[in-house]
């Protein structure tokens, strides 16, 4: 069934409850009026209460669906150098799903 595509309207948090600010670079592709997120787009955190705090989340990409040459974001995965930087997608659109 696939995963829902993340858009700029998605609510993404680190596991410590801080909400990430997401910035898209594929503003021409929209779902329900919101620009899609792609791998490499920024998901930055400024209020993580953990010590040391999470500063950013990595967006996980779809295997075969791209916008502006980059994979559409379908989830959040921890940074490789920092496995504790786990993220959660709390809310996103449900109309478009990809594998």
Q: Which residues bind Zn ion (CB under 5 A)?
A: 14, 16, 48, 50, 54
Taking the complex as a whole, how short is the minimal distance between the CB of residue 85 and Zn ion, in angstroms?
7
Which whole-number Å values give the CA distances from 62 to 3, 19, 71, in the listed order? 8, 22, 5
Q: For residues 50 and 65, which CB has a smaller minimum distance to Zn ion in the complex?
A: 50
Cα–Cα dist 88/71, whole Å: 19
Q: For residues 40 and 78, which CB has a smaller minimum distance to Zn ion in the complex?
A: 78
Q: For residues 35 and 57, which CB has a smaller minimum distance to Zn ion in the complex?
A: 57
Cα–Cα dist 87/24, whole Å: 18
Please list, in sequence order, all residues whose beta carbon lies within 8 angstroms of the beta carbon of residue 82, skipping any fewer than 6 positions away: 54
Q: For residues 58 and 70, which CB has a smaller minimum distance to Zn ion in the complex?
A: 58
Cα–Cα dist 51/30, whole Å: 36
Taking the complex as a whole, how short is the minimal distance between the CB of residue 81 and Zn ion, in angstroms?
15
Taking the complex as a whole, how short is the minimal distance between the CB of residue 56 and Zn ion, in angstroms?
10
Taking the complex as a whole, how short is the minimal distance between the CB of residue 90 and Zn ion, in angstroms?
14
């Amino acid at each position: 069934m696939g995963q829902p595509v993340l858009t700029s309207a998605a609510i993404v948090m680190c596991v410590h409850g801080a909400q990430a600010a997401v910035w898209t670079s594929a503003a021409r592709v929209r779902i329900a009026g919101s620009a899609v997120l792609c791998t490499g787009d920024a998901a930055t955190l400024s209020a993580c209460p953990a010590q040391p705090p999470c500063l950013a989340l990595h967006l996980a990409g779809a295997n075969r669906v791209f916008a502006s040459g980059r994979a559409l974001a379908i989830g959040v995965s921890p940074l490789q150098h920092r496995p504790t930087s786990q993220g959660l997608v709390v809310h996103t659109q449900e109309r478009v799903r990809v594998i």
